[in-house]
């Protein structure tokens, strides 16, 4: 087991921010995870599991305990199901499905991160959620060191949420998806459409953790707000409001603290201009919450996970 000490986590997050892990281990075989847990228990270390490092803001101080990065990347088709290891990058799964004429995952093209992280946060885009495609999830219970199979219903998927966010003892190791056959050219066209959309509207030229907040699925009834912000009527028809709109209309688009900035291209992204600190990103997150609450009366729900903060 190749345990490393004081590994800078900024090298393992899409934000390129984060201090050192006390212990760090990359796992490619799930059997090694059991040994890692035994090591952690023997040395009384807290275990933190990461995948692709997207949707994460790691403290500048780093993390005590053992950080495990899961990199099991197997993908296969078995009995009409696509099985993928938790460490599989979403982009690799998209390409696998394209090569096998399987439709359903086109929406995930261009999203950084892994299957495990996408299941954990019930990732979604363009009207499709991970939960829509999942058959079941295989996970390890850290307490009992047993592998368990969870049906989609048992995963308790909700808006950008799942049982795995509540029960930190459950570590996702693989997922199976029920997909349908499709036309390869149509699949290619959809992938290109979604990639082009992201390139045009998202700040892909700077490190970030993706969308900072969940788009609120609410209806605005306040007449004064509807009169002042006429676009809210259109959002009401859709049943969800773009958080980027709320932050922008709260006057925060382009706001900087240190080397962190609320993106001028998409206000639901905080970008690292180079050398940004986690504390500055956190200040921008808090500021966005406060300003949107004051302007619209809406409590933003954070999508980015904070780790290593007291």
Predicted confidence at residue 2, as pLDDT, reads: 87
Q: Which residues contact 162 (CB under 8 A, 6 or more apart)?
A: 119, 120, 121, 122, 131, 155, 156
Per DSSP, the chain holds a count of helices (H) and strands (E) of 10, 19
Predicted confidence at residue 79, as pLDDT, reads: 80
Question: What is the C-alpha separation between 57 and 48, in angstroms, rounded?
Answer: 13
Q: What letter would DSSP give residue 304?
A: S
Cα-to-chain-centroid distance, residue 31: 25
Average pLDDT over residues 110-133: 94
16-48: per-residue pLDDT in tens? 999 999 999 999 999 999 999 999 999 999 999
Report pTM: 0.93
Average pLDDT over residues 159-169: 93
282-306: per-residue pLDDT in tens? 999 999 999 999 999 999 999 999 9
């Amino acid at each position: 087991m190749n345990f490393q000490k004081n590994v800078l986590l900024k090298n393992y997050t899409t934000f390129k921010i984060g201090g050192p892990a006390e212990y760090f281990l990359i796992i490619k075989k799930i059997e090694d995870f059991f040994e890692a847990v035994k090591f952690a228990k023997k040395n009384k270390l807290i275990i933190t599991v990461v995948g692709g490092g997207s949707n994460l803001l790691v403290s500048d101080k780093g993390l005590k305990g053992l950080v495990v990065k899961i990199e099991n990347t197997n993908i296969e088709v078995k009995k009409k199901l696509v099985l993928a290891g938790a460490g599989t990058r979403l982009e690799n799964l998209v390409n696998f499905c394209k090569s096998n004429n399987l439709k359903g995952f086109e929406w995930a093209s261009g999203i950084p991160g892994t299957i495990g992280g996408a299941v954990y946060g019930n990732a979604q885009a363009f009207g499709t959620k991970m939960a829509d495609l999942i058959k079941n999830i295989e996970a390890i219970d850290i307490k009992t060191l047993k592998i368990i199979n969870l049906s989609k219903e048992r995963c308790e998927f909700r808006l950008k949420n799942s049982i795995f966010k509540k029960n930190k003892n459950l570590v996702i190791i693989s997922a199976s998806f029920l997909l349908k056959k499709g036309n390869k050219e149509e699949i290619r066209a959809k992938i290109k459409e979604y990639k082009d959309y992201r390139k045009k509207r998202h700040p892909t030229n700077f490190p970030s953790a993706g969308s900072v907040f969940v788009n609120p699925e609410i209806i605005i009834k306040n007449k004064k707000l509807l009169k002042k912000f006429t676009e809210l009527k259109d959002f009401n028809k859709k049943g969800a409001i773009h958080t980027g709109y709320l932050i922008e209309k709260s006057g925060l688009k382009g706001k900087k603290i240190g080397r962190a900035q609320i993106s001028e291209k998409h206000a639901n992204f905080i970008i690292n201009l180079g050398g940004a600190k986690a504390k500055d990103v956190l200040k921008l997150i808090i500021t966005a919450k406060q300003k949107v609450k004051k302007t619209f009366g809406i409590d933003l729900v954070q999508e980015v996970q904070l780790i290593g903060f007291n």
